[in-house]
Chain A
Amino acid sequence: MTTKQFTISQCQDSHSINFNAMASPCEILVQSTDIGLANKLANEICTEVWRIEDKYNRYDNNSVCSKINEKAGHRVAIDEETFLLLNFAEQCYQLSEGLFDISSGCLRKVWTFDCTNNIPSEAEVNQVLKSVGWRKIQFDRQFITLAKNMEIDFGGIGKEYAVDRSILLAKQITNVPVLVNLGGDLAVTESRHNNMPWQVAIEHPDIERADKTTADMIVSLHSGALATSGDSRRYLKKDGQHYGHVLNAKTGWPISHAPRSITVVAPQCIQAGILATMALLQGKQAEQFLADQDVKYWSRR
């Protein structure tokens, strides 16, 4: 359960707000020496982020997501926000030709990416695969009905969505430059004062090689968002093969020859996140896919 508190500290011309959400360290940077403003931003943004977390966290029994999953096979009432998110997921399903599917969440029953060699058998995967498939879901503005044993998981879009909502909030509250970073998925309201870019560091995925200095990449961000897909922390390793945690929703297996991680820059965080995930789903073609889309990205293999 996330501890719902934040800390504010001042550094030179900015304030830094730190808190935890969505199982990640989160940070808001505001380029202002006004502590009152920092407090206001902290309160409103953290409240919004925790709200989204509580609503769509599949690990939380009280969340809307859990309620929908529990009642699989039955109709569940949904609100406008959930409908919009489902619509968005639908678009992603179509654009990725079925590779991106938020109903693939139940594959976690056989895939636990706990950094061990615990990979499931083909039979186990096929069994679970029967409960996967966006086409088996029906929804409209008011209700959603999953097929029996199905589950949906907003994990692939929830954090990025929370970043974008936070930026919209920040823009309503202040004109001062703000950066919102939820566990590495981040966005800014505008460039820093005097048109200086935000200097953002991206972590190298191979953190287990502790003896080598981890190479941080510094990205200059003037506006827009940055999201990283692929995760160094959650994976399986067996027979020297690294199984990234992005699963092909059609086959039930991890995408082969996918890059370790992809970072994408786009006007909104959710757009960046989806492009990064879609790229990973291309496996070997990840970089080509992003190059064809004319998208700015960094890939680590």
Chain B
Amino acid sequence: MKSTTNNKNIKAALTVATAALLGTSHSSQAQTAEEDSWQIDSAFLYYSETDRVSAGEAIINAQKTFEDEEVLNLKLTIDTLTGSSANGAVAQPTVQTFTRPSGNGQYQINENDTPLDDTFKDTRVQLNAQWTQPIAADYTLSTGGHLSKEYDYLSLGINANLAVDFDRKNSTFSAGFSFFHDTFSPEGGIPKPLSSMLIGDNNDSNWDENFSQTRLSSDDTKTTTDFLLGFTQVINRRMIMQFNYSYSMVDGYLTDPFKIVSVVNSNGITQDNIYESRPSSRAKQSLYAQSMYHFETNVLDVSYRYMWDDWDIASHTIDSRLRIPLGDLWGKESYVQPHARFYQQSAAEFYRAFIQKSDVTGIEHISADYRIGEMTAYTLGLKFGTLINGENELSFRLEYYRQTPTGGGREPIGVLNDLELYPTVDAVIGQVTYSF
């Protein structure tokens, strides 16, 4: 067309002509872009450990695709946590008294019970925003930000990821980076590592001063830097595989200010409880492989991860899911998905369930947090999903989780032989999700 005045009008004129031909009253805006609508996924999760921590979590995720395959993803997560968590001290054949992290009170533990601190009630709000867009043919860039806040914790983060497709999108390489800066302001401040927990009466006039003697500062920070390299490959019509390598470096305050370690005598009787101390850096690496296989109707997803770090923790994770479509058996396009996961980790080099008084001098780092000790964990679950109104997905998930910490070859001594030093933690997880 030589006349440039006509140019922009051709598409519009054709739109009108098409509407007249087809008898449609309007033409949709969409082309390869998504219509102006948000895809919303919502989920509510309930987690409960027997006699310990309970958590409720609500997530809303909104995603919108713009022209040229640009995607904006916004996610809001709200967690509330209540219940009690092991404070790291060992059980004793007598009643024990501990000071609350804030210093404002004590709590008592019955004989033979694993000491649990029930001070944990917190609500956390998290916001994540992610922007993804193609920057060239086969090149996709994604960047995002993260913010999370709870009463005593603030986390800010950014991330960026570049994905490159090859071979008609059958292969994808990706490289990613993320950085987080966290500030921790625990109630009661940061305790002096390895100092004794002050036990006494917090109404005493000297209490406040004595308590602050055990404190180092009111807050501290840590930074986390992660790198990820990934490779995804479509093997054939039925199978796709993914391989990842990641490197993570955490620097700063890594100690748990609420956890203590029991100092016992040769008979296993606690003499003192000292605040734990972890190194100020941790370098983690992991290798991950995942495979997804499409049978006639079922889909099997199996993955394995090996992680190791400079705290001497090494872990194996095997995770598997089998999605079994049920057709329209129980609702439209329903499916059931059993889930099984196995996890095993070795203890951090400075992990000890307890320490003998005679071994205390010269210790630089120590922690009795079972979560960095030797442990095996199993998860078994079942998920059921169905379509509502032909297009919105509703799903229910129920899982059973069992963590079994073990001693790692360390022999208990004295009275500790008759006590449970490595209690099993059982948890139930229930989740409902709805997408529209």
A88 at interface by CB-CB < 8 Å: yes
Q: Are A218 and B168 CB-contacts (below 8 A) given A12-B297, A293-B7?
A: yes
B10: contacting residue among A84, A215, A278, CB under 8 A: A278
In the bound assembly, the distance between CA atoms of A270 and B22 in angstroms comes to 10
Provided the pairs A33-B328, A292-B8 are in contact, do residues A193 and B387 lie with their beta carbons within 8 angstroms? yes
In chain B, positions 159-194 with a C-beta closer than 8 Å to chain A are 168-169
A108 CB to nearest chain B CB (Å): 25
- Residue contact B65 to A222, C-beta cutoff 8 Å: yes
In the complex, the answer to whether B1 meets A289 with C-beta atoms within 8 Å is: yes
In the complex, the answer to whether B6 meets A221 with C-beta atoms within 8 Å is: no
Name the interface residues of B8-45: CB closer than 8 Å to any CB of A. Answer: 8, 10-11, 13-15, 17-18, 20-22, 24, 27-35, 39
Scan residues 225-252 of chain A and give those whose CB is less than 8 A from a CB of chain B: none
- Contacts A168-B22, A275-B11, A293-B10 given: A33-B325 contact, CB under 8 Å? yes
B32 contacts which chain A residues (CB < 8 A)? 197, 219-222, 224, 265, 296
Given A218-B168, A222-B35, do A294 and B11 touch, yes or no (CB 8 Å)?
A: yes
Q: A16 in the interface, Cβ–Cβ < 8 Å?
A: no
- Contact yes or no, B21 A88, CB < 8 A: yes
Known: A223-B30, A267-B15, A278-B10. A161 touches B328 (CB 8 A): no
B390 at interface by CB-CB < 8 Å: yes
Pick from B18, B325, B387: contact of A268, CB under 8 Å: B18
Chain A: interface residue count, which band?
35 or more
Any chain B CB within 8 A of the CB of A126?
Answer: no
| Nearest CB in chain B: distance from A269 CB, A | 9
CB distance from A263 to the nearest CB of B (A): 11
A124 at the A/B interface (Cβ < 8 Å)?
no
Taking the closest CB of chain B, its distance from the CB of A35, in whole angstroms, is 10
Give complex CA distance A34, B3 in Å: 52
Contact in complex: B11, A293 (CB < 8 Å): yes
**Among B6, B297, B328, B391: residue with most chain A CB under 10 A:** B391
Chain B residues touching A, majority SS: mixed
- Asked if B31 and A265 make an inter-chain contact with CB atoms under 8 angstroms apart, the answer reads yes
Contacts of A91 in B (CB 8 A): 13-14, 17
Point out the residue from A193, A221, A223, A266 that lies within 8 Å of B35, measured CB to CB.
A223
For the complex, give the distance between the alpha carbons of A175 and B327 in Å.
17
Are B30 and A224 touching (Cβ within 8 A)? yes
B294 within 8 A of A: yes
Contact present for B69 and A220 (CB under 8 Å): yes
C-alpha gap A96/B6 in the complex (Å): 10
The residue of chain B having its C-beta at the shortest distance from the C-beta of A289 within the complex is B1
Asked if B435 is an interface residue, CB under 8 A from chain A, the answer is yes
Please judge, given known A-B contacts A13-B333, A193-B333, A218-B168, whether A168 and B24 are in contact too, CB under 8 Å: yes
Other-chain residue from B17, B30, B39, B325 in contact with A88 (beta carbon distance below 8 A): B17
What A residues does B399 contact at CB under 8 A? none
CB-nearest residue of chain A relative to B26? A267
A268 and B27 contact, CB distance less than 8 A: yes
The A interface is mostly helix, strand or loop, or mixed, namely: mixed
Contact: A87 with B18, CB < 8 Å?
Answer: no
Q: Are A267 and B30 in contact (CB under 8 A)?
A: yes
* Complex CA distance for A275 and B12, rounded to whole angstroms: 11
Known contacts A13-B333, A267-B31, A292-B8; is-contact A165 B168 (Cβ 8 Å): no
Return chain B residues, CB-CB under 8 Å to A173.
Answer: none
Please give the distance in Å from A31's CB to the nearest CB on chain B: 8
B393 within 8 A of A: yes
Q: How far is the CA of A275 from the CA of B17 in the complex (A)?
A: 12
Tell me the chain B residues, 34-61 only, with Cβ under 8 Å from chain A: 34-35, 39
Closest to A32 in B: B333
Which residues does chain A contribute within 8 Å of B22, judged by CB atoms?
164-165, 168, 268, 270
Kindly state whether residue A207 has any CB partner on chain B within 8 Å. no
- In contact, A33 and B21 (Cβ under 8 angstroms): no
A104 within 8 A of B: no
Q: Is B63 an interface residue (CB 8 A)?
A: yes
Contact present for B14 and A271 (CB under 8 Å): yes
Q: Which residue of A lies closest to B38 (CB)?
A: A195
Residue of B nearest to A85 (CB): B21
Query: Is A176 in the interface zone, CB < 8 Å from B?
Result: yes
> If the complex has contacts A33-B333, A161-B21, are A95 and B29 also in contact, measured as CB distance less than 8 A?
no
Question: Is A256 interfacial (CB 8 A cutoff)?
Answer: no
Q: A34-B328, A278-B10, A295-B11 are in contact. Are A223 and B28 (CB under 8 A)?
A: yes
Distance A92 CA – B20 CA, assembled complex (angstroms): 13
Residue A208, interface by CB 8 Å = no
Does the CB pair B294–A222 fall under 8 Å?
no
Which A residue's beta carbon lies closest to that of B387? A193
Residues in B neighbouring A274, C-beta threshold 8 A: 14
The 5 closest A-B pairs by CB, nearest first: A223-B30, A91-B17, A195-B39, A88-B21, A33-B327
Other A-B pairs, 5, CB within 8 Å; known A91-B13, A224-B32, A293-B8: A33-B333, A95-B6, A193-B391, A193-B393, A265-B32
A-B contact pairs, 12 of them (CB 8 A): A12-B297, A13-B325, A13-B333, A87-B21, A193-B393, A195-B65, A197-B32, A222-B34, A266-B14, A268-B22, A275-B10, A296-B31
- The interface of chain B, by Cβ under 8 A from chain A, is 1, 3-4, 6-8, 10-11, 13-15, 17-18, 20-22, 24, 27-35, 39, 63, 65, 69, 168-169, 294, 297, 325, 327-328, 333, 387, 389-391, 393, 435
